[in-house]
């Protein structure tokens, strides 16, 4: 059963400006996400915007807004490059039993992310 849906947009140019701001990147992105973003080279700002939008979409799918540490929600990619989430700390506990589906896209200077929260027996 679908328990929540979230969508978010992020301007890539905004992330291009924020990319070198250490305080911002350390607050919003885990060390692993930061390394992944840097590994994208010329597409780093595009990737950063997608990851940022994915976290915002997650907050909307949870129905709570960002009431969790941004370090507890990590955007990961499987062997084929498909995005997903890895949760840590209290966010992992409160989402136990739920499945989260993530899609990220980029076009015309904007990154977009959609998150679907499915199933589960625990309340958010």
Q: What is the pLDDT of residues 94-108, one digit of tens each?
A: 999 999 999 999 999
How confident is the model at residue 20, as a pLDDT? Answer: 87
Q: How many Å apart are CA 22 and CA 1, to the nearest integer?
A: 39
Tokens representing 113? 């992310």
Q: What are the pLDDT digits (tens) for 8-52?
A: 999 999 999 998 898 999 999 999 999 999 999 999 999 999 999
Q: How many CB atoms lie within 10 A of CB 58?
A: 27
Give the model's confidence band at 119: pLDDT under 50 very low, under 70 low, under 90 confident, else very high: confident
Work out the pLDDT band at 120, boundaries 50, 70, 90: low
Kindly report, residue by residue over 47-87, the tens digit of the pLDDT.
999 999 999 999 999 998 899 999 999 999 999 999 999 99
> Would you state the torsion angle of the CA atoms of residues 106, 24, 116, 47, taken in this order, to the nearest 10 degrees?
30
Q: Which domains does the chain have, with CATH numbers?
A: 2-119 (3.90.470.20)
Q: How far apart are the first and last CA of the chain?
A: 15
The whole-number pLDDT of residue 124 equals 45
């Amino acid at each position: 059963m679908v328990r929540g849906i979230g969508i978010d947009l992020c301007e890539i140019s905004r992330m291009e400006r924020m990319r070198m701001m250490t305080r911002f990147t350390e607050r919003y992105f885990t060390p692993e996400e930061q390394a992944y973003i840097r590994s994208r080279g010329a597409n780093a700002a595009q990737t950063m915007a997608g990851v940022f939008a994915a976290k915002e979409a997650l907050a909307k799918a949870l129905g709570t807004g960002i009431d969790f540490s941004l370090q507890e929600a990590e955007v990961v990619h499987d062997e084929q490059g498909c995005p997903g989430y890895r949760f840590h700390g209290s966010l992992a506990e409160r989402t136990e039993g739920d499945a989260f589906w993530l899609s990220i896209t980029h076009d015309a200077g904007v990154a977009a992310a959609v998150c679907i929260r499915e199933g589960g027996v625990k309340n958010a």
